[in-house]
Structure 1
């Protein structure tokens, strides 16, 4: 009976390791995706800020030239 319990524990251990590995991989993928999205959004924000800055700069020049 003790051997049976030991083997059950051993099997459960392998299942837990498999589940832990899967969760770890999914977390890594999620983290990478989140970082990629974050970098993309930062680039988008920088482009938007530059666009607004250039538009404001052009408007200022136009106002002074009139």
Structure 2
């Protein structure tokens, strides 16, 4: 990820996190449809990542590991 202020880092998905709202992202054809929606990483079907939480984790740890 690269934020407007220059902060960079990565987002990693733990294998077990593709459940619930993220279950559709198990399919590469769905995952590959990623886009930015008003500053949030998003996918079709109203799936998105919380940009504030992402920023704080990357600022603190250099990455955001999604585990659930």
TM-score, normalization by structure 2? 0.18
- Relative to its length, the structure with more helix (as a share) is 1
Higher relative contact order structure (alpha carbons within 8 Å, sequence separation ≥ 6): 2
- Relative to its length, the structure with more strand (as a share) is 2
Q: Mark the structure with the bigger radius of gyration.
A: 1
TM-score, normalization by structure 1? 0.18
